Amino acid sequence: MSLQTGSTASAPLRAGVIAGSIAAIVASAVNLPLEAPTDTLFNAATVTMAALLAGAMAGLLWRGLESNLRRQPLFALAVFIAFVVTASSAIVLDEQVNRAASYIVPLAAIVLGIVGSLTPLLSRLLRVRPTLVAGVALVIAVAAGVALASQGDTASGTLTLPPRSTIMNVIS
């Protein structure tokens, strides 16, 4: 293994985190219309955390396989196995939590697909053009922000308290 500078040695990890960030943006946007099994556990925040974790793990794996001649197929196999494990777990969880599989499986496919394809690509780009990659990530983040800016702006009715008599009946 050759001696690497801190910048090139950390390129795979940074690539994984950037890929996870991009996956988080896409998955959070897809998450909006999906009916979550329970909003407290399944929401955009947990989708984002899972995507960032998947990206970091992919970056660590890509860096760990650096000296392996079969790096690309082993990495692809690991991402596929991660999807199979996630989908299988979601199907098992679906027996306890209604709609868990229909929520988790598509988001896992999106996140792992993006992370699995972008981590190797971004790792190579970060070694050559780190500023370009940061610029592309910035453009993607801004585009996602603009695309999601109108979400939640539609009128959903008036926010009012229930009548006082209803509140008093509940307290009594």
Of residues 101 and 8, more confidently modeled: 101
pLDDT at position 45 is 81
Which of 73, 61, 171, 166 is CA-nearest to residue 119?
A: 61
**31: buried, middle or exposed (CB in 10 Å: 19+, 13-18, 0-12)?**
buried
Residue 106, domain member (yes or no): yes
Give the predicted TM-score (pTM) of the model. Answer: 0.74
Q: Using CA atoms, how far apart are residues 14 and 130, in angstroms rounded to an integer?
A: 10
Residue 157, domain member (yes or no): no
Annotate the chain with three-state secondary structure. CCCCCHHHHCHHHHHHHHHHHHHHHHHHHHHCCCCCCCCCCCCHHHHHHHHHHHHHHHHHHHHHCCCCCCHHHHHHHHHHHHHHHHHHHHHHHHCCCCCHHHHHHHHHHHHHHHHHHHHHHHHHHHHHCHHHHHHHHHHHHHHHHHHHCCCCCCCCCCCCCCCHHHHHHHHC
pLDDT in tens, 107-125: 999 999 999 999 999 998 8
Residue 90, domain member (yes or no): yes
Residue 154, domain member (yes or no): no
pLDDT in tens, 72-91: 999 999 999 999 999 999 99
Residue 136, domain member (yes or no): yes
Residue 153, domain member (yes or no): no
Q: Using CA atoms, how far apart are residues 51 and 107, in angstroms rounded to an integer?
A: 9
pLDDT at position 154 is 45
Q: How many domains does the chain fold into?
A: 1
The region, left, alpha or beta by phi > 0 then psi within -120 to 50, assigned to residue 62 is alpha
CB 81 within 8 A of CB 67: no
Residue 28, domain member (yes or no): yes
Residue 96, domain member (yes or no): yes
Q: Range of 133's domain? A: 7-147
